[in-house]
Structure formats: structure tokens, C-alpha cells
Amino acid sequence: MNASRNFENFVGNLHGSDMRCFHIYNDILGRLSKQFISNIVGKPLRHVLVDTAYTQSNAASYFPRIRTLLHQLELGEDRDVRTMLKSLKVELSALVTAFNAASTLLRGGLFGSLDAYHAHLCY
């Protein structure tokens, strides 16, 4: 819910609060949601979008598993570097998949494709 609200606020600021296209943007966000859900019980979400009420900034809440793994690598906290690098590869692969899905849903780019959506679907 917070991700949807943040996304709508971003789009509202971008397009002057034009409500006609929110259903399109939320459809895109909904289709990407599988990339933001962890199947592993007790593990944090892969790429979470949260309200700033929970963190100092939205940027601080993005990609917590990747950020944690990179931090552990930097500090050398885990002796099994091979396992940590394998986990990092899995997380980065999931992130690339999310970006590819977003690019496909947006027809290859963010702003140009939003103009195409507006021209054909929003008006």
C-alpha cells in the first residue's frame, strides 16, 4: 500500500496530479509486485518501497538485502565469501529482472513511453 501511495505521489508530482492515468501506473506497479516479495520466511523483502515515516528516506529503504550483503562484504563479517557472493548474484539477478519487467511494461523507456500511454490510453 505504501509503495502504491509513493508511486502515485511521484506520478502526481510529475504530471500535476492528473488522476486519469493512475490506473495505468498502478497496473505497472501491480505487475512488478512479484519482484518485491520474498518467498523466504523470516527474510526481508527483496526490493521494498516504503513510506518515509519508517526510514530517514525512501532511498534508505530500497534494496535492503543487496545493501546488507554489500555491507557485510565490505566489513568482512562473513567468513564464507563464496556463499555471500552467490547470494548477492541471486539478489542482483532479481533486481535486473524487475528492471527488465518495468522496461517491458513501459515499452522500452520511462518518460517517452508514458507519453505514448497518455496519447493512447489516458485521454
In a structure prediction context, what are the per-residue pLDDT tens digits for the chain, which is 123 residues long?
555 566 667 666 765 655 666 666 666 666 665 555 554 556 555 555 554 555 565 555 567 778 788 888 888 766 788 888 998 898 888 778 777 777 776 665 555 555 555 555 555
What is the pLDDT at residue 5?
64
What's the alpha-carbon Rg for the chain, to the nearest Å?
17
Please count the structural domains in the chain: 1
Identify the three-state secondary structure at position 37.
coil
What is the pLDDT at residue 116?
53
Per this entry, what is the length of the chain?
Answer: 123
- CA atoms of 24 and 101, how far apart (whole Å): 15
Domain that holds residue 12: 2-122
CA 27 to chain centre: 14
